[in-house]
A and B are shown apart, each in its own frame.
Chain A
Amino acid sequence: MTAQSKKESLIKIKNMSLVYGKKDKKIPALEDINLEINRGEFICVLGPSGCGKSTLLRAIAGYLKPTLGKCLMQGNEIDGPDWHRGVIFQSPTLYPWMTVKENVEFGPKMRGLPKDKIKEIRKYFLDEVKLSGFGDKYTFELSGGMKQRVALARVLANYPQVVLMDEPFGALDALTRDDMQNLIRDIWEENNTTIFFITHDVDEALSLATRVIVLSKRPGKIIKKFKVNFTNKIFESGTKDVIYQDDYFEVKNEILDIINSQIEK
């Protein structure tokens, strides 16, 4: 909240379009995207399936190059992936040949941090995702929710400027998802992280985001941006009561109307 008032711009997307394929078979995925991500924001992206949400995330991550326009990070054009932008995939890409510990330590190790520092970071973030006792387990011994928490700790261990999450809780059951939403909200509030979060669940977006962005059907364009504050209210009150209030329903209905209008056409 305090960070938002400073409004330090981290990522700036200017008139970005992205087209898949070459000359004959062009598939436009994104069209004229303009978006700024500020430090401390929790941005959720909603949109009908196949609208290019993941493409947008992959462009920010540096996996894809914009066909037109620019994708800047702190003024520099994004040129390939790097550790300042951590990525969490829908199915956790934990390395099964490494223990939970080794997975979390992977980023800091790759960056050549000193050993005791790596250990300290690993302890802190395993604690943060509530997996302190699981360091020596292999990742395939964990449940889906635990895996995603390890993936989260692994990304956070690099202290990235922004965490990009591609429907991270989409494959989890409802109870675990609820749990994970609370966890990610707590981590975001405590560590002043910046999060860019893709989801197809309107309730998930509204209960987490400080800004919700709604994309059109393909090629994805930004239809509307909503500034919301339910996540801070939930964090402060410790309950999800706000989601039963009128202003919540108003926003939710508006978003659902937009998405439905996109599907029907």
Chain B
Amino acid sequence: MALKNNEEPKKEKKKNSTKWADKLVNRNDDKDKKSKTEKVLTIATWSSIFILWFVITKLGIFTPTLLPGPIRVWKATLHILENGYNNVPIWVHLGASLKRLFVALFFAIFTAVPLGLLSGYFKKVEAVIDSVIEFYRPLPPLAYYTLLVLWFGIDDLSKQVLLFLAAFAPIYIACVSSVRQLNQDFVLSAESLGATQKNIFFKIVLPASMPEIFTGIRTAFGVAYTTLVSAEMVAATSGIGWMVLDASNFLKSEVIFVGIIIMGITGVIIDAGLRFLEKNIIFWKGHV
């Protein structure tokens, strides 16, 4: 349903802006757009951080090991981009991390969504699943990571299981609450229009829950991403997290900086991508 509609809103938007923009509620929400001053403020903040960084290192208050200057970090970035780290290209490290992340997210979505919706629907299913999730959810992932390494080996599998567990809970919880908060009149009106229970689930409950499910997925991504870096810092031989850990063992501060910057930018890009998908697939968000 959602995918089918995916192409239609794009067409709609063009028509909107010309014909209906004045009269009707426009789907291109102006609230999302930052105003000019806000943009300037964001840019100013980052410029100040950069200048401060530059001045402090220039004054030589700290040794380059403690705080490498922007130029050192820039050189290290170029070096890593060109030669990789430990003779392994940076893309391979990043790719290894992202593969773990997305495999885990994929399986988390395909298990947490149905289980969450079922739990929302049937109190008995919830009674089985909910307490288990409530128990493990607040645990710090690294607390049980050692066990996972023992059970699933030190390779990718244990990391994927760890990330899966981290991503599962937010999606599951979002699904349960989306069903609970469902506008019952949607269901009643569908019943009065002749829809069967199966149709009500796929054509009403699922699309009505989509906005909240997607928010759950974005949260899950955030949790899994931070968990990923910690996991690679404990036991790994590749990945962006491992790169940072390895660099810190040899006090290569500029490499730590490069790693952190790459992690931050990657996170922002992926979240922007998810938001883009959300905006286009679930165009009815805020109207349920």
Contact = CB atoms under 8 A, between A and B. Distances in A.
A19 B29 CA distance: 46
A203 interface: no
A99 interface: yes
Interface string A53-71: 0000000011100000000
Interface in B158-205: 183, 185-186, 188-196, 199, 203-204
Interface in B136-153: none
Q: Which of A61, A95, A136 has the most CB of B within 10 A?
A: A95
A175 interface: no
Contact of B183 (A86, A93, A141): A93
Contact of B194 (A142, A143, A158): A158
A89 B183 CA distance: 12
A81 B16 CA distance: 37
Nearest to A61: B192
Interface in B24-42: 24-25, 27
A97 B5 contact: yes
B50 interface: no
Given A97-B1, A110-B199, A138 B27 contact: yes
A136 B5 CA distance: 12
A97 B2 contact: yes
Contacts of A106: 190, 193, 195, 203
A174 B3 CA distance: 40
A80 B191 contact: yes
A142 B27 CA distance: 11
B20 A87 contact: no
Contacts of B191: 80-82
Interface stretch (B126-134, B236-244, B280-288): B280-288
Interface in A67-115: 80-83, 85-87, 89, 91, 93, 95-97, 99, 106-107, 110-111
B2 to A, nearest CB: 7
B207 interface: yes
Given A95-B207, A97-B284, A138 B193 contact: no
Contact of B207 (A85, A93, A97, A139): A97
Contacts of A80: 191
Contacts of A137: 12, 20, 24
Contact of A141 (B1, B24, B193): B24
Q: Size range of the interface on A?
A: 20 to 34
A110 B16 CA distance: 30
A35 to B, nearest CB: 20
Interface of B is mostly: helix
B192 A83 contact: yes
A154 interface: yes
Interface in A105-140: 106-107, 110-111, 136-140
Contacts of A111: 194
A249 to B, nearest CB: 37
B186 A95 contact: yes
A155 interface: yes
A66 B232 CA distance: 62
B8 interface: yes
A143 B24 CA distance: 7
Interface of B: 1-2, 5, 8-9, 12, 16, 20, 24-25, 27, 183, 185-186, 188-196, 199, 203-204, 207-208, 210, 283-284, 287-288
22 contacts: A61-B192, A62-B192, A63-B188, A81-B188, A81-B191, A86-B193, A87-B192, A93-B185, A96-B284, A96-B287, A97-B210, A106-B190, A106-B193, A111-B194, A137-B20, A140-B25, A140-B27, A140-B284, A141-B16, A141-B25, A141-B27, A158-B194
Q: Which 10 A-B residue pairs are closest in the complex by CB-CB distance?
A: A83-B194, A96-B284, A107-B193, A96-B287, A140-B287, A81-B191, A97-B207, A93-B189, A87-B192, A110-B195
Given A89-B185, A110-B190, 20 more contacts: A61-B192, A80-B191, A83-B194, A87-B189, A93-B183, A93-B186, A95-B204, A96-B284, A96-B287, A97-B2, A97-B210, A106-B195, A107-B194, A110-B195, A138-B27, A141-B16, A141-B24, A141-B27, A142-B24, A158-B193
